[in-house]
Chain A
Amino acid sequence: MLNAIQFSSFSEFLNMGGYAFNVWSVYGLFTIFLGANLLVPMFKKKQILKDLKRRRVVNKNARPEINE
């Protein structure tokens, strides 16, 4: 089922049988597509938690009675 590696050298692999532009630009876009949709929510979560934490501290200092 698993065939041998289809390329005999690294430059042959990069060349992709003359279709280097098509193959590598699609895989490049694929990386951007996955990366963006994983990293953006990750950073957004950090941002939200930081923001909530800041508000919470401000609220507590403004109204110390809620600590009790």
Chain B
Amino acid sequence: MIRLGVPSKGRLMEQTFDWFAARGVALSRSGSDREYAGRVQGADGVSLVLLSAGEIPRELAAGRIELGVTGTDLVREKLAGWRSDVVEVAPMGFGHADLILAVPECWRDCEDLDDFASIARDFRAAHGFRLRIATKYHRLVRAWLAHHEVADYQLVDSQGATEGTVANQTAEAVADITSSGETLRANNLKILGAEPILQSQATLFANRAALDDVRPFLAQLGVEA
């Protein structure tokens, strides 16, 4: 039996259902809206597991599901050494979002990462502590800033309302997922740099060890791995 993990609610779930429907496989929630059980029609030996999108990377890596739909951002953030455990099978063309670094719009002297590095150094000297970046994407942001050799900063954990941390003075900058940038603008923040930290979209992933088992189903969907 192939267990297919799909986000259990919202637009991500609906668009996933649409994506599979377009490939001849009908996914649906069984019973009431409150029940997290699913049905699969049009494919044999496949069962639907409805999960929180954030838990799908972990379940995939552990082999408790063979296939899963989630954002590339979540896989890369939550699975250290992700390539050893899971395979990116197909980008699905929705759920687009960029992980970006944003600073107050009023910082007119901050246009790129070099400026940011210089400001972080000044800030640390002036305030006696490292400039704070609020985020929930600790590993991705840290690896990206290490790659660009930005020092003099620290990450502070923010699991929600991240854009508000600057105004509340609990952080000087934020690193977060954005699709339109509207929330950032509403909070007087601007995106730094031309390239985002990561471009994410909803993607069909497979557990690496289960790849051979899922290949026929993937062929039916018209995707190759």
Task: State yes or no: do A and B come from one complex.
Answer: no
Residues on A facing B (Cβ under 8 Å)? none
Residues on B facing A (Cβ under 8 Å)? none
